[in-house]
């Protein structure tokens, strides 16, 4: 891991109650940052995301969910309604933040950073649909991304998370 890479820790996001949440609160954790939507055909991935968090959460892993209405207007809910949907229908206990834009000129600065190699110095990958996943290492640097159709419990994702968690335990 290169600690000199730009990282996500300078960004703030909004919780559903309107409070600011600095991403520096997740320092030293491996993160999977996912744009979610309650009306999307991929919404069942919320349950798998929670299972992934259950599997690796005690080892320094967290999932951050960012509802977005950018694709097919598939997130009609607002604020606490989104959290309730995620908790009641899919058992979600990981942080779900306020709805944001994740693509285009009006994308949230976090997603501009995640999506653009000129900013993150690692990769360019703009979300093409809901449930696009960005993997971020313990230093807050972008490591990889996974398209919507890559299931959260796939061996591809789990192996990369485990590798990052193992590399941190050797520090």
Q: How many CB atoms lie within 10 A of CB 166?
A: 10
- What's the token pair of residue 71? 């694709």
Distance CA 118, CA 86 (A): 33
Report the catalytic residues.
40
As a whole number of Å, the CA-based R_g of the chain is 15
H-state helical runs in the chain: 45-56, 79-90, 109-115, 117-120, 155-169
| Contact assessment for residue 35 and residue 131, using Cβ atoms and an 8 Å cutoff | yes
| Contact assessment for residue 34 and residue 65, using Cβ atoms and an 8 Å cutoff | yes
């Amino acid at each position: 891991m290169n600690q000199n890479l730009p990282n996500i820790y300078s960004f703030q996001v909004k919780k559903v109650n309107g409070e600011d949440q600095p991403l520096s609160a997740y320092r030293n954790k491996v993160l999977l940052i996912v744009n979610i939507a309650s009306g999307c055909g991929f919404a069942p991935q919320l349950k798998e995301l929670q299972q992934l968090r259950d599997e690796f959460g005690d080892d320094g892993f967290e999932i951050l969910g960012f509802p977005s209405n950018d694709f097919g207007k598939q997130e009609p809910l607002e604020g606490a309604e989104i959290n309730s949907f995620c908790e009641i229908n899919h058992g979600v206990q990981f942080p779900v933040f306020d709805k944001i834009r994740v693509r285009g000129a009006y994308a949230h600065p976090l997603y501009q950073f995640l999506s653009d190699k000129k900013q993150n110095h690692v990769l360019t990958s703009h979300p093409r649909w809901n449930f696009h996943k960005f993997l971020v290492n313990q230093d807050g640097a972008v490591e990889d991304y996974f398209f919507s159709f890559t299931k959260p419990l796939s061996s591809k994702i789990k192996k990369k998370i485990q590798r990052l968690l193992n590399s941190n335990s050797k520090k």
